[in-house]
Amino acid sequence: MEIEKISLERGSAIGLRIFLGEAPLILIKAEKGYLMCGYLNIGVAEKLGDAAAVVRGVNTFADMLEKPVEELTSAAEALGVKRGMKGREALERML
């Protein structure tokens, strides 16, 4: 398992990377929400009212920051997160 402080323009977030087999589970938690990989379920995040966004095809924290948001919850959308924006930009809006 790897835990890392992720520096952003307006603050920082905490990254968690767990090696599970063929691909890692990666999550980056900001103050008001989180960016997650495809291992995690956006439907559950929506049901719980979480501000969450999904990026896919990632193996590192750097990948998470550069890949586009493919799915998001309505709570993330309320914070200004949009489909297609880079993960870094989504996290900035979740600070």
Q: What is the pLDDT along the chain (95 residues), one digit of tens a residue?
A: 999 999 999 999 999 999 998 899 999 999 999 999 999 999 999 999 999 999 999 999 999 999 999 999 999 999 999 999 999 999 999 99
Quick one: pLDDT at residue 48? Answer: 98
Output the pTM of the full model: 0.96
Q: Which CATH superfamily is domain 2-93 in?
A: Hypothetical protein YunC (3.30.1980.10)
End-to-end CA distance of the chain: 24
Quick one: pLDDT at residue 21? Answer: 87
Task: List the beta bridge partners of residue 90.
Answer: none
> What's the pLDDT tens digit per position in 15-38?
999 999 889 999 999 999 999 999
Q: Which two tokens stand for residue 95?
A: 């600070």
Which residue is listed with tokens 């966004």? Answer: 53
Domain ranges of the chain: 2-93
